[in-house]
């Protein structure tokens, strides 16, 4: 008995000593990653917040942005929409310039609304139109300007949660006014946009993709041609990846961007994978069932598919195509051999939807 109580006392002393010196027994540790939750942001709600920010918040200098971030409710103090991907809706009002900065996180923009708007990346001005994807690979100076008389709104996507997690988020504001243009407008698109030829002697501004913009006017017919040829997948409709035409690799070193076409009435099969995705509805109306919960989406809504959750997509229209733009972290997982994927085999590959996500009472 005395021996038992001596043992209990010594055990407690062991834990006290450990705690006092920042040590912990592995057998007592809860080993799990961030609780990345599925979530959906309706466009009306986001636009209301962004419009209000346009009224109350000037673009702060140096280098900041008027962006309303879509933050995952499952991660305390979330820096992103998932543990790896930040997305936000950014507003640049008529005549405004979001002045230059550069940073270690890779960034991309999917243009939602506006014309007469551009992003200058290093010395190259890139005009942006609805549905275009514009890249700012890491550590390239970039500034945004709106020379039109209407608001410009786009989706920002960054790998900043990952880069902050690695404590590598170097950031520098550009202190010397505005960027100067040293290349012709849209030079990278004119040089690399065809994808099958590349210029000899071209020097990319950094080691990232030499192509800074992917035009919707080129992407849409490409997907439609693939659809005509029956290039359907089990889980992702007819999908394309925006590739780095310099090396055939992923869009960016840490993130890949896709455009998924769902045919009228299409219902994909369910699968799950270790990468996470943030979707932005470019066109159409439908739903995605994530771990048994139905997330109903319409044009310009955004939603999160967390890692290792079952998911399948449904196009609710019998007559119209749906287009889903998405950002995922496949390149990061591949780089570390962490990519794993499996199909749902039971019930014909489909989940039972047992609840519907309510955007008005989301939590
Ligand atoms: Fe930036
Ligand atoms: Fe998937």
Q: Quick check: 61 pLDDT over 80?
A: no
What is the 205 CA–ligand 1 centroid distance (Å)? 16
Q: Evaluate whether residue 107 is within a structural domain.
A: yes
Query: Percent of the chain beyond pLDDT 70?
Result: 99
The pLDDT of residue 314 is: 98
Q: Evaluate whether residue 363 is within a structural domain.
A: no
Q: Evaluate whether residue 27 is within a structural domain.
A: no
Smallest-distance ligand from the CA of 239? 2
Smallest-distance ligand from the CA of 103? 1
Smallest-distance ligand from the CA of 307? 2
Domain count, the chain: 1
Residue 62: pLDDT band (50, 70, 90) is: low
Q: Evaluate whether residue 95 is within a structural domain.
A: yes
The pLDDT of residue 77 is: 83
pLDDT, tens digit, 9 for 90 and up, residues 247-295: 899 999 999 999 999 999 999 999 999 999 999 999 999 999 999 999 9
Q: What is the CATH number of the domain that holds 335?
A: 2.60.120.10
The pLDDT of residue 233 is: 98
What is the 283 CA–ligand 2 centroid distance (Å)? 19
Q: What is the pLDDT of the chain when averaged over all its residues?
A: 95
How much is the average pLDDT of 120-140? 96
Residue 201: pLDDT band (50, 70, 90) is: confident
What is the 16 CA–ligand 1 centroid distance (Å)? 46
For the full predicted model, state whether its pTM sits above 0.85.
yes
- Domain span at residue 177 reads 39-356
pLDDT, tens digit, 9 for 90 and up, residues 159-185: 999 999 999 999 999 998 999 999 999
pLDDT, tens digit, 9 for 90 and up, residues 82-104: 999 999 999 999 999 999 999 99
What is the 107 CA–ligand 1 centroid distance (Å)? 7
What is the 239 CA–ligand 2 centroid distance (Å)? 11
The pLDDT of residue 124 is: 95
The pLDDT of residue 205 is: 73
Bigger pLDDT: 31 or 333? 333
Q: Evaluate whether residue 18 is within a structural domain.
A: no
What is the 339 CA–ligand 2 centroid distance (Å)? 12
How much is the average pLDDT of 330-359? 97
Q: Evaluate whether residue 296 is within a structural domain.
A: yes
What is the 167 CA–ligand 2 centroid distance (Å)? 29
The pLDDT of residue 55 is: 95
What is the 305 CA–ligand 2 centroid distance (Å)? 8
The pLDDT of residue 42 is: 98
Q: Evaluate whether residue 31 is within a structural domain.
A: no
Q: Evaluate whether residue 148 is within a structural domain.
A: yes
CA dihedral of residues 259, 261, 267, 270 (deg, nearest 10) = -20
């Amino acid at each position: 008995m005395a021996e038992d109580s001596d043992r209990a006392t010594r055990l407690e002393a062991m834990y006290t000593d450990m705690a006092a010196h920042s040590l912990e027994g592995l057998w007592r540790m809860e080993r799990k990653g961030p609780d990345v939750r599925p979530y959906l942001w309706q466009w009306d709600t986001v636009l209301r917040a962004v419009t209000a920010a346009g009224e109350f918040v000037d673009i702060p200098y140096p280098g900041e942005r008027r962006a309303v971030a879509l933050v995952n409710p499952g991660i305390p103090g979330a820096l992103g929409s998932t543990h790896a991907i930040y997305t936000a809706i950014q507003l640049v009002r008529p005549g405004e310039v979001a002045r230059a900065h550069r940073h270690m996180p890779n960034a991309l923009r999917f243009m939602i609304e506006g014309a007469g708007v551009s992003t200058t990346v290093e010395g190259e001005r890139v005009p942006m139109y609805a549905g275009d994807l514009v890249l700012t690979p890491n550590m390239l100076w970039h500034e945004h300007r709106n020379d039109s008389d209407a608001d410009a709104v786009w989706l920002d996507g960054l790998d900043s949660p990952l880069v902050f997690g690695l404590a590598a988020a170097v950031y520098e504001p550009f202190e010397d006014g505005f960027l100067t243009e040293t290349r012709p407008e849209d030079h990278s698109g004119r040089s690399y946009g065809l994808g099958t030829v590349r210029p000899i002697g071209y020097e990319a501004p950094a080691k990232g993709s030499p192509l800074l913009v992917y035009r919707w006017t080129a992407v849409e017919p490409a997907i439609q041609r693939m659809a005509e040829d029956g290039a359907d997948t089990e889980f992702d409709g007819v999908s394309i990846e925006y590739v780095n035409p310099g090396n055939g690799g992923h869009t960016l070193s840490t993130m890949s961007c896709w455009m998924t076409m769902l045919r009228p009435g299409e219902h994909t099969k369910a699968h799950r994978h270790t990468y996470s995705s943030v979707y932005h509805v470019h066109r159409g109306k439908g739903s995605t069932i994530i771990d048994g919960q139905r997330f109903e989406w319409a044009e310009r809504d955004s939603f999160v598919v967390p890692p290792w959750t079952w998911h399948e997509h449904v196009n609710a229209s019998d007559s119209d195509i749906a287009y889903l733009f998405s950002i995922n972290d496949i390149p990061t997982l591949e780089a570390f051999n962490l990519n794993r994927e499996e199909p749902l085999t039971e019930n014909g590959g489909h989940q039972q939807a047992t609840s519907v996500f309510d955007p008005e009472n989301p939590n």
